[in-house]
Structure 1
Amino acid sequence: MAQNSKSPASTAAPLQVTAGTPYKIDENTPELFRPLQIRSITLRNRICVSPMCLYSIASSGPLTGVMTPLYITTIGHNIFKGAALAMIEATGVQPNGRITPHCPGLWNDAQEQGLKPLVDFIHSQGGLCGVQLSHAGRKSSTQPPLVAQELGKSSARAPKEDGGWPDDVLGPSGGAENSWDGKGLDPSGGYHVPKEMTEFEIKELVSNYAKSAQRAVNAGVDVVEIHAAHGYLINQFLSPVTNRRTDRYGGSFDNRTRLLIEVIVAVRAVIPEKMPVFVRVGVTDWLENTDIGRKFGTWTIESTIQLARLLPDLGVDLIDVSSGGNHYQAQFNVFDGGDKHTEMALKVKQVLKAEGSKLLVGTVGLITEAKQARDLVQGSLMRGPGVDIISVGRQFLREPDWVLNVASELGVDVAWPVQLQRLRPGPTSKI
């Protein structure tokens, strides 16, 4: 099971020090820059690159869903400059599981082979690579945001002529009333009408998660994350607002969590015992104070804690806390709920630690400042335990040197990429 790796005072870093690694660890080193061991892997610090959609992949032909060198220049660059783990964006386990036609997939040999160069580059820089396996459910077959913006919309449907699959959009529940924005077939709507998944399709989906996880292993990936947040398919099954089924996959908490549990079990069965499994969850739907939430019930932080208690025995090592995205009437969405994600992640960690759970907790959302990052991991924000890792997204887009700058501001002497030693503060800057 996952455990924190806390080096003793004054332990020297290895001779081959990689970027973002402290040269020494002593009592003054913040937890943010201490290593963390999870099964067989060791993160050099607690800073991870959050999965961020680039929408830059071929939508048709033999390279459909295959990653390009762009991923090395973006995701790889953050590892080059010191991040410990990079999580590849939501990667479809089925063709109809992608968010847009321009998102990555991991269901065939070409996609597996296309992943390997990125993994190899990340490893060459002393970093770790994870892949977030996903199915977008009723939020699939949409246009990339830039296309939607050009159409004057926040979201736009992707038709067949643009590589979409309007007739194969799936959800736990189907029909016009279950389109994400509730607009059904209205031309102004931004989402397709989903079909209710059959139990055969659910069984096939679970199998496809396992097959994609095996492909990730073949490509050399270090971590598999199961995406159960942001209103995508597993999140849709978890919430009673979006799951109106009356079979064994709907209704009770046990039924609504059944799909996620089956996916975890299937993934864990095909990957090495030494490989960590993360689960990203939407800690709440943000619908507690809405009419629809009161009518059908909703997913809350209490639901997340109840789920988290089950995860260690299933072989999950870390719960990655985010929120929002499951319904258009939510109080907060994925982006503006950022600071709330971190607050609720600390609450989840506090409960789990008090209960003696070994499950690690990570979080994401509007983490931009050095002291903020330090305090999230140190546990200084709520006078309780801190989270085990933080994931940073948009700040890396603005500031690729973020890890190095955070270390400097916190007074931690970390290694820089050898190619950039002339820029490093201190005596080496004169080399």
Structure 2
Amino acid sequence: MFAELILVIICRLLISFTGIAFRLESPAPKALSIEDIKELIASFVNAAQRSLAAGFNLIEIHAAHGYLLHEFMSPLSNQRTDEYGGRFENRIRFLCEVVQAVRNILPDQMPLWVRISAIDWISDGWDIEQSIALCHILKSLGVDLIDCSSGGIVPGEKFVLGAGYQTAFSDRLRREAKIATGAVGMITEPAQADQILRTGQADMVLIGREMLRDPYWARRAAKQLRQPVSVPKQYDRAWH
């Protein structure tokens, strides 16, 4: 059994790093207290324990795309003045505490991934240098792989979409932070994914929307790349 659980707390409408609304027309969330933060860390741990009980064998903590952990990390959003705001070490504190708490209850052999937005696509926001520094720390805390995405923290981000437009982030983090990375974002063709892996830009290519469009993408990729693939007899008979 191979499965993945993404631990996500969607917080914009209820709780957040501060009481600042995402947009003018958005409702203002409740600012988290230190006690609230500690309770949320415990909630992440409880979710991980339920995942173990359910039989999952991989956990990914979502700290990207404007969700709660990313809100603490980015200087664009984090306006706190306590030990969870201000300088870099404070802004990453919440994520690091979550990672450490979750890692402590997982079996040693169970992979722990973290998804981050490698850059905010906004001047003076979270950038690749901060991501590299964060990844050094996450590796020391027992994170096995960084899922490299980007953006999502504030309105008005300016970026150019294109095939594999985020792959440069997985490449830099892999080389400079010496941690395994996963490449994501508009990777749709088998040859494209294969080239990313063969050139060492990432350790893994994560296919999301393309698998929704084509549930048999993996079989098509194996066929195009001339790799053996094992499928249930019922499926194999349907394809011949």
Query: What's the CA shift for 1:196?
Result: 1.4
Give 2:204's aligned residue: 389
2:21 is the alignment partner of 1:179: yes
Query: What's the CA shift for 1:319?
Result: 0.6
What's the TM-score, normalizing by structure 1? Answer: 0.54
2:193 is the alignment partner of 1:373: yes
Identity of aligned residues (%): 38
Q: 1:229 aligns with which of 17, 39, 64?
A: 64
Kindly provide the amino acid, as one letter, of the partner of residue 102 in structure 2: V
Give 1:318's aligned residue: 145
2:216 is the alignment partner of 1:417: no
Unaligned runs of 5+ in 2: none
TM-superposition CA deviations, 1:299-343 (whole Å, max 9, x none): 00111111011112101100110011111121139xx47732222
Give 1:110's aligned residue: none
Give 1:350's aligned residue: 175
Kindly provide the amino acid, as one letter, of the partner of residue 224 in structure 1: I
Kindly provide the amino acid, as one letter, of the partner of residue 151 in structure 2: G
2:42 is the alignment partner of 1:207: yes
- Indicate conservation of the 8 Å contact 1:323/1:337, yes or no: no
SS of residue paired to 2:4: strand
SS of residue paired to 1:310: helix
SS of residue paired to 2:52: helix
Rg bigger for which structure?
A: 1
CA distance in 2, matches of 1:281, 1:271: 21
2:76 is the alignment partner of 1:241: yes
Give 2:218's aligned residue: 403
Q: Where in structure 2 are the equivalents of 1:324-339 lying within 5 Å?
A: 324-332=151-159, 336=161, 339=164
- Indicate conservation of the 8 Å contact 2:168/2:201, yes or no: no
Give 1:262's aligned residue: 97
Kindly provide the amino acid, as one letter, of the partner of residue 363 in structure 1: A
Kindly provide the amino acid, as one letter, of the partner of residue 313 in structure 1: S
2:12 is the alignment partner of 1:133: no
TM-superposition CA deviations, 1:96-129 (whole Å, max 9, x none): xxxxxxxxxxxxxxxxxxxxxxxxxxx2xxxx11
Give 1:170's aligned residue: 15
Query: What's the CA shift for 1:371?
Result: 0.8
- Indicate conservation of the 8 Å contact 1:240/1:299, yes or no: yes
SS of residue paired to 1:137: coil
SS of residue paired to 1:392: coil
Give 2:181's aligned residue: 361
CA distance in 1, matches of 2:90, 2:31: 16
CA distance in 1, matches of 2:5, 2:218: 21
- Indicate conservation of the 8 Å contact 2:16/2:32, yes or no: yes
Q: Where in structure 2 are the equivalents of 1:86-97 lying within 5 Å?
A: none
Kindly provide the amino acid, as one letter, of the partner of residue 166 in structure 2: H
CA distance in 2, matches of 1:251, 1:376: 36
Give 1:273's aligned residue: 108
CA distance in 2, matches of 1:374, 1:338: 14
Unaligned runs of 5+ in 1: 1-122, 141-168, 184-188, 289-296, 380-384
Question: Would the alpha carbon gap of residues 242 and 301 (structure 1) be closer, same or farther in structure 2, given more than 3 Å must change?
Answer: same
CA RMSD of superposed structures (Å): 1.6
Query: What's the CA shift for 1:386?
Result: 2.7
Kindly provide the amino acid, as one letter, of the partner of residue 190 in structure 2: A
TM-superposition CA deviations, 1:121-148 (whole Å, max 9, x none): xx2xxxx11101011222x4xxxxxxxx
Aligned length: 240
CA distance in 2, matches of 1:221, 1:422: 30
